[in-house]
Chain A
Amino acid sequence: VPDAALRCRYVLCEVVSEDPRCRQCIEDRAVGLAVRDAIGRVHGDFGLACCSISFTVKYLNAYTGTVLLRCRKDSYRLLCSALPFVRQLESRNQRYPCFLNTLHVGGTIRTCQKFLIEYNRRQLLMLLQSCTNEEERRCVQKSLLSCSLTEEQCLSGNEDDDDDGTDTD
């Protein structure tokens, strides 16, 4: 059990854009930079400094546009209130306008994962209703049946480790 001061919050968001090419920009460096830039614009140097402690993009999926961010529990409000101000993602000199939709804030990766599976299942159900032919219908139904949290699918990596190499002393 980690020390109360080191507890983190995991923020699950989805990237919404009009241009399908925006998916190319969904990579950890681009998303991390966009979020940090938004925090700096809204909360200034103080906010950026607070949120940078233990801030990282923990997981992302370019196909669904899902992003999982991590930050310290003390500064998650600064992070969440700055997320609406992200307006574009930039990567390799390409920039595409988009925005982030916050889906869920959880204390552990597991709770965010459970939420994401339910969310994706609902999305697949809606997709099923708009299927136009039998082939698509079968594919979607197959994906729906395989939606569950198994041990192997758990995101690898201990939630407690601090990848940024800070030592407690």
Chain B
Amino acid sequence: MAGFSDLNIPQGPDKKSMQGLLETAAHLGYSAVALNHVIDFKEKKQEIIKPVSPSELFPSLPVVQGTSKRIKVLTRLTLVISDPSHCNLLRSTSPNIRLYDIIAVFPKTEKLFHIACTTLDVDLVCINVTEKLPFYFRRPPVNVAIDRGIYFELLYTPAIKDSTMRRYTISNAISLMQICKGKNIVVSSAAERPLELRGPYDVANLGLLFGLSEGEAKAAVSTNCRAAMLHGAFSASQNIWELRKNRKVLLCFTSTETGLWALWMQPKWMLCFREVPVSCE
């Protein structure tokens, strides 16, 4: 069974408050969290800096409730794009981008949403939950994104804070569900304080409010998050994906109700299809 993950913990300046967030997340049962560094190109020209090293920032990581392992901290970069010229940064082979574990993009217009789903090399596409969607989702780009292994992210903290945001979140989520049929959804927090986090069981229940089925809601907090993390770990070169950290060659992987399954090429060209173990990351 895949562990629970929260892929959006905004990176704050205060180390102590980040430590508090990590401890609460570990107490609630999250096995992995991703520290999110957001870059908005609308503001003054921003450079993509190297990601912080979690081992430097947090000398001691808390143990996850219910297991004996420490919580895993990944790094994530979110690019807010409102103009097609912003995409050039992703296309250019900037060395700093590849250092992040997960890359997400937040498209602000319909054209950029289409570009993000079909061509950009990202792992997550963020869906706006704080205002009325400026465009309708269409089936073709969403289906292409699902085939490419890209996941759509919904945040839940705005819905908890304010009732108007709650309505926008539910409307936008349901309109996405009608197009993607509940596949490839990831629900995460964007919590800035420990009290804004919610346990994985509760987040799965929130998924029910967004129109997901029970199995889909649970996957949105567990297997889909891990699939997005794996998507970020591999670099696509031609048709074969190479696992960065060791020599095994991964041909493809898919996320099903029973978990993550991967097709590996073993030495001497043997093919085998087996479940991705939790420790493989």
Contact = CB atoms under 8 A, between A and B. Distances in A.
Interface of A: 16-18, 41-42, 77, 80-81, 83-85, 87, 97-103, 122, 126
Contacts, number: 51
B99 interface: no
B63 interface: yes
Given A41-B163, A77-B208, 5 more contacts: A42-B209, A81-B205, A84-B160, A102-B201, A102-B202
Contacts of B65: 122, 126
Nearest to A85: B160
A19 to B, nearest CB: 10
6 contacts: A16-B24, A16-B28, A81-B209, A100-B202, A102-B201, A126-B63
B218 interface: no
Contact of B195 (A41, A42, A85, A98): A98
Given A18-B194, A77-B208, A81-B208, A122 B66 contact: yes
B195 A18 contact: yes
A101 B163 contact: no
Interface string B130-156: 000000000000000000000000001
Question: Which residue of A80, A97, A98 has the most chain B CB atoms within 10 A of its CB atom?
Answer: A80
Contact of A99 (B20, B166, B198): B198
A80 B205 contact: yes
A156 B38 CA distance: 53
Nearest to A105: B201
A83 B163 CA distance: 15
A41 B209 CA distance: 13
B86 interface: no
B195 A97 contact: yes
A16 B65 CA distance: 14
Contacts of A101: 28, 198-199, 201-202
A165 to B, nearest CB: 30
B98 interface: no
B183 to A, nearest CB: 21
A122 B67 CA distance: 9
B205 A102 contact: yes
Interface in B94-118: none
A156 B197 CA distance: 34
Contacts of A80: 202, 205
Given A99-B198, A101-B199, A16 B205 contact: no
A135 B4 CA distance: 36
A98 B195 CA distance: 6
A58 B199 CA distance: 22
Contacts of A87: 160, 195
A41 B167 CA distance: 11
Contacts of A17: 195
Interface string B184-210: 000000000011011101110110110
A87 B201 CA distance: 17
By Cβ-Cβ distance, the 6 closest A-B pairs, closest first, are: A101-B199, A84-B202, A81-B205, A102-B201, A84-B198, A80-B205
A103 B202 CA distance: 9
Contacts of A102: 199, 201-202, 205
A80 B101 CA distance: 33
A120 B203 CA distance: 23
B213 to A, nearest CB: 12
Nearest to B206: A84
Contacts of B163: 41
Interface in B50-67: 63, 65-66
